[in-house]
Amino acid sequence: MIDTRIISRNSKKYKADHHVKRFTAKDHLISMLFRVFAKCSSLREVAGAMLGAMRSGAQFISYYLSAGFSLMTMVVLAGTMQFSEIVEGQRYCWNLFNGHIPATIAFFYTCFRGMQKQIEALLICLKPSRS
């Protein structure tokens, strides 16, 4: 969208990153563009929205990672990637019972993680406070 060479050139020209240790001019520009596009009105909203986006990304990755592991388990147990041979290899014993159970548990765990987090939040709210 924006050429990073333009940002680098202007940041050197105006010495924007002269005393910067971590949060560079490029980082600041990205966060301000995010603020505009997300229609945030305060820094707290920006931080919360970015944290939510990172959590969402992590959950997305963990979901597809476990789904990929569960599919790869089937391929490893069958010894081939041919769908017909995978089905034929399960004629006498389904791969689900032949070592696929841990991958299936991981897959369902990530699918129902949202519900688990809601239950944890409810339990925390219902927990009596100590005085």
Q: How far is CA 70 from CA 46, 62, 76, 86, 101, in A?
A: 36, 12, 10, 14, 9
Q: Give per-10-residue mean pLDDT for the chain (131 aa).
A: 87 89 88 86 82 77 73 80 83 66 67 67 61 50
Measured distance CA(11)–CA(7) in Å, rounded:
6
Q: What is the pLDDT of residue 14?
A: 92
Q: Which residues contact residue 40 at a Cβ distance below 8 angstroms, ignoring those fewer than 6 apart?
A: 34, 46, 49
Residue ranges per domain, the chain?
A: 1-39, 55-131
The answer to whether 29 and 7 are in contact (CB under 8 A) is yes
How many whole angstroms separate alpha carbon 69 and alpha carbon 45?
Answer: 36
